[in-house]
């Protein structure tokens, strides 16, 4: 065997690994950008919205950011309780909100791709819905869908929400899109949890202004939100935030936010920041 022929398989394998690592770094970088964008949006939402609108506005931002980066035409996010029952939902077609609540609200997730993701507890990727029996179209909403990426969001091991991204052409979502969404999942989970606690704290405060029986994590969530709002006022531009080393910890030492500047100070990689 000649020397070039001998090294050809090794070079091919090395090139394949290099491409995979490059794609991984690109996905992680995009996820870090989306991570920051969602946090800034969350600060604005807490300043301008109240009650259930906080969650709906957060869902909208999650869908808009995710859809834009991976190129989805249609999307939805469903919120679950600890029994696996849908308690809130938002659907988007582009930037237009779809009226989907009667379709999902109050249902258990047992069939179709949502049921498969719920039971298998992992991302569901369909290249062509016409060739995959996991896909069950929603009447008047998703008959024309061909590509689907369905992403579970977990909180302390419990399925908290599911994000579904769709496109009318087959093979639009690949491994890189799934990798990007997987890197974004922890941030989405933290923002949903913090928003739920913030709304609950607001409601309990209105119900009984004199009550002092508020859980410590709810107090911390409210304090965190106010701190973020104050921070946003103090900094002249949102674009200044990446230049400053910032980390935010809530609920038993969990990171809500850790930017790239602080990660460099303490020697964290971007992958570790996003976990």
Q: Is the pLDDT of residue 52 over 70?
A: yes
pLDDT of residue 212: 47
d(CA 79, CA 192): 9
pTM above 0.75, yes or no: no
More confident site: 201 or 211: 201
Q: 149-176 pLDDT, tens per residue?
A: 999 999 989 999 999 999 999 999 988 8
pLDDT of residue 266: 63
Q: Which has the minimum average pLDDT: 39-43, 51-55, 263-267?
A: 263-267
d(CA 99, CA 91): 7
Mean pLDDT in the chain?
76
Q: Is the pLDDT of residue 236 over 90?
A: no
Both structure tokens of 32: 């870090």
Q: Which helix (H) or strand (E) holds 230?
A: helix 216-234
Mapping DSSP to helix (H, G, I), strand (E, B) and coil, where does residue 37 land?
helix
Q: 170-203 pLDDT, tens per residue?
A: 999 988 899 889 889 988 998 999 888 888 877 6
**How close are the terminal C-alpha atoms of the chain, in Å?**
47
> Taking Cα atoms as reference points, which of 81, 61, 161, 149 lies closest to residue 113?
149
Mapping DSSP to helix (H, G, I), strand (E, B) and coil, where does residue 201 land?
helix
Distances, alpha carbon 36 to alpha carbons 30, 57, 200, in Å: 10, 16, 25
Distances, alpha carbon 52 to alpha carbons 57, 76, 174, 220, in Å: 9, 17, 34, 20
Q: What DSSP designation does 235 have?
A: S
* Burial of 51 (C-beta count, 10 Å sphere; 0-12/13-18/19+): exposed
pLDDT of residue 238: 45
pLDDT of residue 146: 95
pLDDT of residue 245: 59
């Amino acid at each position: 065997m000649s020397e070039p022929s001998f090294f050809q398989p090794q070079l091919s394998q090395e090139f394949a690994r290099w491409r995979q690592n490059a794609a991984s770094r690109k996905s992680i970088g995009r996820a870090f950008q989306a991570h920051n964008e969602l946090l800034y949006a969350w600060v604005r939402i807490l300043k301008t919205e109240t009650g259930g609108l906080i969650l709906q506005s957060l869902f909208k931002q999650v869908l808009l950011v995710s859809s834009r980066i991976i190129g989805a035409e249609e999307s939805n996010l469903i919120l679950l309780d600890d029994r696996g029952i849908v308690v809130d939902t938002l659907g988007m077609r582009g930037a237009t909100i779809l009226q989907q609540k009667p379709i999902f609200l109050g249902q258990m997730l047992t069939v179709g791709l949502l049921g498969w993701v719920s039971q298998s507890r992992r991302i569901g990727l369909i290249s062509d819905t016409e060739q995959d029996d996991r896909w069950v179209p929603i009447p008047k909403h998703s008959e024309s869908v061909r590509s689907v990426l369905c992403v579970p969001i977990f909180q302390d091991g419990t399925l908290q929400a599911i994000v579904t991204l769709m496109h009318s052409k087959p093979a639009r979502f690949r491994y890189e899109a799934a990798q990007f969404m997987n890197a974004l999942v922890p941030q989405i989970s933290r923002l949903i949890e913090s928003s739920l606690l913030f709304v609950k704290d607001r409601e309990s405060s209105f119900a009984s202004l004199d009550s002092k029986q508020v859980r410590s994590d709810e107090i911390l969530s409210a304090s965190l939100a106010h701190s973020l709002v104050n921070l946003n006022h103090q900094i002249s531009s949102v674009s200044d935030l990446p230049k400053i080393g910032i980390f935010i910890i809530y609920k038993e030492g969990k990171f809500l936010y850790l930017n790239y500047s602080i990660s460099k100070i303490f020697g964290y990689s971007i992958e570790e920041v996003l976990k």
